[in-house]
């Protein structure tokens, strides 16, 4: 742990107005990120990971409303900043990388123009200086011939190159916090590893906080200092990467870990783990544990009230009515649990 | 390609493939419609610009002693008046050249006005959605419900036939196509990731509309503008023919057809020549517009 947190979020909720009522996309999420540290948000599709990141950027769709007790970023409350001040932060102190590098660059501008524009918008000054910085950063993210690349259009680059370029673009102003929403999902496996280790290196070099959103637990194991597992808009388990992987406590986390195929595991030795059922509807009020209808350990107590986060270790919390020992007790499907 | 060899870092596959510009040039050169359309359009535009220098006679000069002289292919045609003279003895070729000036000027400026109105509404509605979009859709529906010719006739009858009035009138009557197309394209573009990433870089809405959305719409706007210009030239000719557009003695193609109408059975060339000019110009503009669309976005070919 190094120094004061760059981002502290307390009680973040996002509600979306839908015809059937209010959809609670994110409920009461709290976490903090320190400089040089990586927080991984993990969960399946629709669990609120992306909504959480968009809420941090204040880029939620118009029908969504954001409430938070505190969203303190470098001493400023993101939830209360004006739209104008927020626009000044984006791309400057706060950066975000999206999932699909093939579509997140404007096809009609050269790479150089798009990178320089970020710098000129926030720092002003001469275009030549911006170009120099863009060239330096392209080189830094491992692009050979940066000078030539600056004059190319996005469609002339491969997916991996474009994602490197997106990363370089976000580093133009050296943000204090970088949010990466599934940055490697659209890339092939060999490129994924390169991009992840690049992110890791850059994060150390620039002392950035990094929020990495992913559904890939392999990525989490590789990258995370802190992990937050999300399910149905809530954090169900949260802690240091080491503790969560050593002793996964919430039945959902263990279920996720069982879903990873392991080398040498064949049908004869038991089926690949899966979690039965589907994510419950997030529309309307709900009570009790949102995972209860998919949980092997569910019982009467899971229906009642709000399940609070309980401590499972020094830096490790989980959201289940059972004490840690019992929650871990019966391993669903595949034996072992921990990766 | 010497660059590739000198520089081992450059990706050979990317540099060997023809650049998109070269591909586009190749497509343009093998597209007969585009070549013929732009060729004819360029010819007419050039003639219109150079009208004061290349027209053989003053388009207003009357010579009552040489009324309705035959064109060069007629029995008594002379090279002095290649396309003959009209009922007041004015040189038809000169009036045709000056008329091209007027048609193109009206077509171009009215198309630009319509483009500004329509694209602004369409982009705003498509980008912001919600109430802004409802207002835009309402305006488009109102506009679509207006019978263009009828409104043009009545307004021209009231406001008179000054060229400025006609340009404004036609500009305000033909913006709907721009609005419909830019609105739906903007709706698609708005959902693209690069808009989100531009927002994440701190861009304002105004900046996104001007820098991210508009450049991506430009091709389509140019294609619509060409079709719109052809339509405007036709309406202007119709208005002038009906005596509600450009007033005599200003040389306008529609007016020339109208003036030749009374003698059409004796001197048919007086309506055939300006009529053919209108037809050829409109078809050339349409061919050029279609060609531009085919060449710039071959995947969008109908």
Question: Which of B7, B20, B202 comes nearest A92 by C-beta?
Answer: B202
- The position carrying tokens 């004059």 is A151
Q: Is residue A44 situated within a structural domain?
A: yes
Average pLDDT over residues A161-170: 88
Contact B202 A87 (CB under 8 A): yes
Task: Tell me the mean pLDDT in the region A271-282.
Answer: 75
Interface contact A30, partner B, CB < 8 A: no
Q: Are residues A71 and A113 in the same domain?
A: yes
Are B192 and A148 within 8 A, CB to CB?
no
Domain-embedded: residue A177: yes
Work out how many CB contacts closer than 8 A connect A with B: 72
B197 to chain A nearest CA, in Å?
6
Q: Are residues A224 and A255 in the same domain?
A: no
Query: What is the extent of the structural domain holding A263?
Result: 251-329
Residue A264 pLDDT grade (very low, low, confident, very high; cuts 50, 70, 90): low
Q: How confident is the model at residue A268 (pLDDT cuts 50, 70, 90)?
A: low
**Does position B14 have pLDDT exceeding 80, yes or no?**
no
Question: Chain A residue closest to B215 (CA)?
Answer: A108
pLDDT, mean over chain B: 85
Our count of domains for chain A comes to 2
- A269: pLDDT strictly greater than 80: no
> How close is the nearest chain A Cα to the Cα of B123, in Å?
17
Residues A46 and A150 in one domain: yes
d(CA A47, CA A291): 12
Residues in chain A: 339
Q: Classify the phi-psi angles of B173: left when phi > 0, otherwise alpha if psi is within -120 to 50, otherwise beta.
A: alpha
Q: Of B151, B171, B292, give the one whose Cα is nearest residue B229.
A: B171
Range name among A112-116, A176-180, B59-63 with the lowest pLDDT average? B59-63
B251 near B92, Cβ under 8 Å? no
Q: How would DSSP label each residue in chain B? A: -HHHHH-TTS-HHHHHSPPHHHHHHHHHHT-HHHHHHHHHHHHHHHHHHTHHHH-SS-TT---GGGTT---TTSTT-BTTBTT-B-TT--BHHHHHHHHHHHHHHHHHHHHHHHHHHHHHHHHHHHHH-HHHHHHHHHHHHHHHHS-HHHHHHHHHHHH---HHHHHHHHHHHS-HHHHHHHHHHHHHHHTSHHHHHHHHTT--HHHIIIIIIHHHHHHHHHHHHHHHHHHHHHHHHHHHHTTSSSPTTS--HHHHHHHHGGGTTT-THHHHHHHHHHHHHHHHHHHHHHHHHHHH-GGG--
- Ordered by start, the domain boundaries in chain B are 32-60+82-300
Taking contacts as CB-CB distances below 8 angstroms, the residues of chain A near B14 are: 156
> B202, A59: Cβ pair inside 8 Å?
no
Q: Is the residue at A216 inside a domain?
A: yes
**Distance between A155 CA and the closest CA of chain B, angstroms:** 10
User: Closest by alpha carbon to B285, among B110, B55, B102, B108?
Assistant: B108
pLDDT grade for B106, boundaries at 50, 70 and 90 = very high
pLDDT in tens, A97-119: 888 887 888 888 888 998 998 89
| Same domain? A188 vs A273 | no
Query: From the list B194, B199, B215, which residue is nearest A59 (CB)?
Result: B199
d(CA A32, CA A10) in angstroms, rounded, equals 8
Flag if A145 and B20 touch (Cβ within 8 Å).
Answer: no
Is residue A242 included in any domain, yes or no? no
Q: Which of A89, A118, A156 sits opposite B14 (nearest CB)?
A: A156
Residues 110 through 149 of chain A touching chain B, CB cutoff 8 Å = 117-118, 121-122, 144-145, 148
Residue B126: name the closest of B183, B195, B176, B180 by CA. B183
Is B203–A155 a contact, with Cβ atoms under 8 angstroms apart?
no
Entry pTM: 0.76
Partners of A10 in the β-ladder: A70
Q: Name chain B contacts of A177, Cβ cutoff 8 Å.
A: none
Which long-range contacts (C-beta less than 8 Å, at least 24 apart) are formed by B192-196? B192/A103, B193/A98, B193/A99, B193/A100, B193/A103, B193/A104, B194/A103, B194/A104, B194/A105, B194/A106, B194/A107, B196/A59, B196/A98, B196/A104
**Looking at beta carbons, which residues of chain A come within 8 Å of B193?**
98-100, 103-104
Beta bridge partners of A26: A14
Within 8 A by CB and 6+ apart from A163, the residues are: A97, A101, A183, A184, A186, A187, A191, A195
Any idea what DSSP says for residue A308? P
Same domain, A89 and A167: yes
- As separate numbers, helices (DSSP H) first and strands (DSSP E) second, chain A gives 11, 13
Q: Reduced to 3 states, what is the DSSP secondary structure of residue A319?
A: coil
Assess if residue A334 is contained within a domain.
Answer: no
Query: Mind spelling out the 3-state secondary structure of A139-162?
Result: HHCCCCCHHHHHCCCHHHCCHHHH
Q: Which of the residues B188, B200, B203 would you substitute to probe the A interface, choosing the one with the greatest number of A C-beta atoms within 10 Å? A: B200
Interface of A with B in 181-240 (CB under 8 A): none
> What is the pLDDT at residue A2?
54
- Please give, rounded to a whole number of angstroms, the shortest distance from the CA of B122 to a CA of chain A: 20
| Angle between helix B92-128 and B253-260 (nearest 10) | 130
> Which of B139, B141, B165 has the alpha carbon at shortest distance from B152?
B165
Query: Which of B201, B211, B215 lies at the smallest CB-CB distance from A91?
Result: B201
pLDDT, mean of residues A131-145? 89
Residues from chain A contacting residue B211 (CB–CB below 8 Å)? 106, 117
Q: Which fold has domain B32-60+82-300?
A: MetI-like fold (1.10.3720)
pLDDT, one tens digit per residue, over B25-47 is 888 888 888 999 999 999 999 99
Question: Which residues 5-34 of B are in CB contact (within 8 Å) with A?
Answer: 7, 9-10, 14, 20
Same domain, A190 and A287: no
User: H or E stretch including A131?
Assistant: helix A127-140
Taking CA–CA distances from A56, the nearest residue in chain B reads: B200
DSSP string, B200-241: HTT--HHHIIIIIIHHHHHHHHHHHHHHHHHHHHHHHHHHHH
Segment B199-209, tens digit of pLDDT: 888 888 888 99
Work out the average pLDDT over B151-176. 87
Q: Which of A62, A104, A155 comes nearest B197 by C-beta?
A: A104
pLDDT at residue A337 is higher than 50? no
Shortest Cα distance, chain B CAs vs residue A311, angstroms: 36
Kindly state the average pLDDT of the residues A72-100: 88
CB–CB of B216 and A117 under 8 A? no
Q: Which residues of B touch A100 (CB under 8 A)?
A: 193
Of A216-230, B57-71, B86-100, B262-276, give the lowest mean pLDDT range: B57-71
Nearest to A118 among B199, B201, B212 (CB): B201
């Amino acid at each position: 742990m190094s120094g004061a947190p760059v981002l502290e979020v307390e009680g973040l909720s996002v509600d979306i107005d839908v015809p059937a009522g209010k959809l609670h996309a994110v409920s009461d999420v709290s976490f903090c990120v320190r400089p040089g540290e990586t927080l991984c948000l993990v969960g399946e599709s629709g669990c609120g990971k992306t909504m959480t990141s968009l809420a941090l950027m204040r880029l939620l769709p118009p029908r969504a409303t954001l409430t938070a007790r505190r969203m303190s970023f470098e001493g400023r409350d993101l939830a209360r900043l004006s739209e104008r001040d927020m626009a000044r932060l984006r791309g400057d102190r706060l950066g975000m990388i999206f999932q699909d590098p093939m579509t997140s660059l404007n096809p009609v501008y050269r790479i150089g123009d798009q990178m320089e524009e970020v710098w000129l918008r926030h720092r002003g000054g001469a275009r030549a200086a911006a170009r120099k910085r863009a060239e330096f950063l392209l080189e830094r993210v491992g692009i050979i011939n940066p000078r030539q690349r600056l004059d190319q259009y996005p469609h002339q680059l491969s997916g991996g190159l474009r994602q490197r370029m997106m990363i370089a673009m976000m580093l133009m102003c050296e943000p204090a916090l970088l949010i990466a929403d599934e940055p490697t999902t659209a890339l092939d496996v060999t490129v994924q590893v390169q991009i992840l280790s690049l992110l890791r290196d850059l994060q150390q070099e620039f002392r950035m906080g990094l929020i990495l959103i992913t559904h890939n637990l392999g990525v989490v194991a590789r990258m995370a200092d802190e992990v937050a597992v999300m399910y149905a808009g809530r954090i169900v388990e949260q802690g240091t990467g080491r503790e969560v992987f050593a002793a996964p406590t919430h039945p959902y986390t263990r279920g996720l870990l069982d879903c990873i195929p392991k080398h040498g595991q064949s049908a004869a030795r038991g089926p690949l783990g899966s979690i039965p059922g589907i994510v419950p509807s997030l529309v309307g009020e709900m009570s009790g544990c949102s995972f209860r209808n998919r949980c092997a350990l569910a019982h009467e107590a899971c229906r009642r009230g709000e399940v609070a986060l309980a401590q499972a270790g020094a830096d490790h919390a989980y959201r289940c009515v059972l004490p840690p020992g019992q929650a871990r007790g019966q391993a669903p499907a595949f034996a072992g649990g921990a990766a | 390609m010497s660059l590739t060899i000198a520089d081992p870092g450059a990706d050979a596959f990317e540099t060997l493939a023809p650049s998109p510009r070269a591909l586009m040039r190749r497509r343009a050169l093998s597209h007969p419609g585009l070549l013929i359309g732009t060729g004819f359009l360029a010819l007419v535009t050039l003639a219109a610009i150079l009208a004061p220098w290349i027209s053989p006679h003053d388009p207003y000069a009357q010579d009552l002693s040489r009324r309705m002289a035959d064109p060069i292919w007629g029995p008594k045609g002379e090279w002095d008046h290649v396309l003959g003279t009209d009922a007041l003895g004015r040189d038809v070729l000169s009036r045709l050249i000056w008329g091209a000036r007027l048609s193109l000027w009206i077509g171009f400026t009215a198309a630009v006005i319509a483009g500004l109105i329509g694209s602004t509404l369409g982009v705003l509605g498509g980008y912001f959605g919600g109430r802004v979009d409802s207002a835009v859709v309402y305006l488009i529906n109102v506009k679509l419900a207006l019978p263009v010719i009828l409104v043009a006739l009545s307004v021209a009858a009231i406001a008179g036939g000054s060229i400025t009035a006609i340009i404004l009138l036609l500009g305000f009557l033909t913006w709907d196509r721009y609005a419909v197309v830019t609105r739906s394209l903007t709706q698609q573009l708005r959902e693209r990731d690069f808009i989100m990433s531009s927002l994440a870089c701190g861009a304002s809405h105004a900046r996104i509309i001007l820098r991210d959305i508009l450049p991506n719409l430009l091709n389509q706007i140019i294609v619509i503008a060409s079709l719109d210009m052809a339509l405007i030239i036709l309406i202007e000719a119709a208005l002038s023919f009906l005596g509600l557009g450009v007033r005599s003695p200003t040389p306008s193609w529609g007016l020339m057809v109208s003036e030749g109408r009374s003698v059409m059975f004796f001197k048919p060339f007086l309506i055939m020549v300006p009529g053919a000019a209108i037809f050829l110009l409109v078809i050339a503009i349409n061919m050029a517009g279609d060609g531009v669309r085919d060449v710039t976005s071959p995947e969008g070919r109908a």
